[in-house]
Structure 1
Amino acid sequence: MEYQYPIDYNWSTDEIVDVIHFFEAIERAYEKGIERDEMMNVYRRFKEIVPSKAEEKTICGEFEEMSGYSSYRTIQKAKQASSGDRIRMK
């Protein structure tokens, strides 16, 4: 990994850790696949920390620009999948 995660230093340490877990889950979805339920759980926690759609779009856009991994497309695919499914991004 040659990039840094976009984080807000106003977040608590626990919030920063949870946002990093969200981005790591996005990476796993692209690299080896992830269980749909796990992806949705980390996304729900991410949304507790970043409730604003505009802020989510900015942060996820920064992540996509640095990593090439789309959080938006991953979450859309997870929302369409059934509980227990494994999602894998291309």
Structure 2
Amino acid sequence: MDYNYPLDYTWSTKDIIDVMSLYNAVEKAYEEGISKTDFLNAYRKFKNVVGTKSEEKQIDKEFQDVSGYSIYKVFKASQENDWIKL
């Protein structure tokens, strides 16, 4: 994809990598499918970086605006399926 990911440049390099891993997992869920386990592992690391629900919602909105993909929709699908493909 050719867009800028929403990142907070005050995050550490490790934090940026963890957030980027979630973005990649969401993209994979839309484009080819991803296992629930792989997605939730990336999501847990993301939640360690982005602690508040409001910050998570803001990042999801920004990510959806630039990519068309929703972190929330993939998370909801992970609650119902072992394989996620949107």
Q: Structure 2 counterpart of 1:52, which letter?
A: T
CA shift digits 1:9-38 (9 cap, x unpaired): 111001001100100000000000001110
What do you get for the CA RMSD once the two structures are aligned? 0.7
Name structure 2 gaps, 5 residues minimum. Answer: none
2:79 and 2:5 map into 1 onto residues whose CA distance is: 23
Structure 1 residue 80: Cα displacement = 1.9
> What count of residue pairs does the alignment treat as equivalent?
86
Q: TM-score, normalization: structure 1?
A: 0.92
Superposition map of 1:1-90 within 5 A: 1-81=1-81, 85-89=82-86
Q: TM-score, normalization: structure 2?
A: 0.96
Structure 1 residue 69: Cα displacement = 0.4
Structure 1 stretches of 4+ with a deviation exceeding 2 A read none
Name structure 1 gaps, 5 residues minimum. Answer: none
1:16 and 1:79 map into 2 onto residues whose CA distance is: 25
